[in-house]
Amino acid sequence: MSASAIVQTQSLTKTYAGIHRVNKVDLVVGEGEIYGFLGPNGAGKTTTLKMLLGLIKPTEGSLRLFGQSLSKQRPFILKRTGSLIESPSYYGHLTGLENLRIIQRLRNAPDRNVDEALRIVRLENQKDKKTEQYSLGMKQRLGLAMALLSFPKLLILDEPTNGLDPAGIGEIRELIKSLPGRYGMTVLLSSHLLSEVEQIATTVGIINEGNLLFQGTMDSLRRKSSTSITLKTGNNAGAERLLLTQGYHPVQNNGRLELGDLDDAQVAGINRLLVAQDIPVIRIEEQSKSLEDIFLELTGKGRSL
């Protein structure tokens, strides 16, 4: 168990009908992080989050929150944890405010928390409306207010921007980003959108078909995005043979030679060499591998994971 881990799982596994939907996942969420749990639909995100909250039982493996075992210290853990999993539950015939008051009593939270939660999710003006008349986005905000109500140390959010319009998404994103600094919270959120995780998260875990494929800081993931020089010549086969003799490793691709990451002096040297051998250099281009390319390689899926 690492010292500052708020969430740590070991070989966490959930099997349904013999299929590993979550497979030996070692998740580590450090204190004060915004951890983006990223993966395509059906990857196993919700199943993992539900195990963390004790809503379903792991088939195998173990998990600790705040360094404690959920089976032994359930009240201690749940008191410090707020969550929004799938659609929020509330009483439709009651107003937003009345719904929050119920949670307030359950959680034994002070009055001012209700006002503050309403303010942060910007529902003050709709607080006296029955929640059955709320739009999807308003319901989502209410769910978030419920999760925030006791200002927990750990906030677990499953697809928190679901159902929000672009302006709402921007607001919620800014809100989530401010939580560690303002309230000392640690946030674990799931998303199938790379762009969302990229904009909110400090740490990322990528899951696909139940397997955790990458876990690390957003920066360490970005560092994987390298540049590559590609070359188009009047005689690619000749250029390839020549460059091989010089210690390069060109790869033919779509009428171009890919040379990997080279510095300026190497590029200039290659150009000189080819010209000296009467091989016309048509194009020298630098291509960068984007985060999207990396996700694509990892998951074999397209743009919107």
Nearer to ligand ATP, 45 or 64 (CB): 45
Helix (H) or strand (E) holding 298: helix 291-299
Q: Specify the 3-state DSSP secondary structure of 142.
A: helix
Binding of ligand ATP by 12 (CB under 6 A) = no
Nearer to ligand ATP, 44 or 250 (CB): 44
Q: Which residue has the tokens 């250029």?
A: 239
Q: Specify the 3-state DSSP secondary structure of 38.
A: strand
Choose the binding region for ligand ATP from 45-53, 72-80, 212-220, 242-250 (rule: CB under 6 A): 45-53
> Cα 187–133–81 angle (5° rounding)?
20
Query: Which position among 6, 43, 118, 164 is part of the footprint of ligand ATP (CB under 6 A)?
Result: 43
In the complex, what is the shortest distance from the CB of residue 8 to ligand ATP, in angstroms, rounded to a whole number?
19
Choose the binding region for ligand ATP from 41-49, 179-187, 214-222, 289-297 (rule: CB under 6 A): 41-49
- Return all residues near 8 (Cβ < 8 A) that are at least 6 apart: 1, 2, 26, 27, 28, 29, 63, 64
The Cα–Cα gap between 196 and 295 comes to: 14
In the complex, what is the shortest distance from the CB of residue 168 to ligand ATP, in angstroms, rounded to a whole number?
19
Binding of ligand ATP by 36 (CB under 6 A) = no
CA dist list (Å): 87 to 17, 137, 146, 151, 236? 25, 11, 12, 20, 56
In the complex, what is the shortest distance from the CB of residue 86 to ligand ATP, in angstroms, rounded to a whole number?
8
Helix axes 136-148, 111-120, angle to 10 degrees: 140
Q: 185-204: which residues touch ligand ATP (CB under 6 A)?
A: 192
The Cα–Cα gap between 161 and 139 comes to: 11
Residue window 14-33: x/- pattern of binding to ligand ATP, with contact defined by CB under 6 A: --x----x------------
Tell which residue, 78, 146, 149, has the closest CA to residue 110: 149
In the complex, what is the shortest distance from the CB of residue 166 to ligand ATP, in angstroms, rounded to a whole number?
20
Q: Write phi, then psi, for 66 (nearest 5 degrees).
A: 55, 30
Nearer to ligand ATP, 44 or 205 (CB): 44
Query: Which position among 23, 27, 33, 44 is part of the footprint of ligand ATP (CB under 6 A)?
Result: 44
Nearer to ligand ATP, 46 or 99 (CB): 46
In the complex, what is the shortest distance from the CB of residue 85 to ligand ATP, in angstroms, rounded to a whole number?
10
The Cα–Cα gap between 235 and 61 comes to: 57
Number of residues that bind ligand ATP (CB under 6 A): 11
Using CB under 6 A, list all residues that contact ligand ATP.
16, 21, 39, 41-47, 192
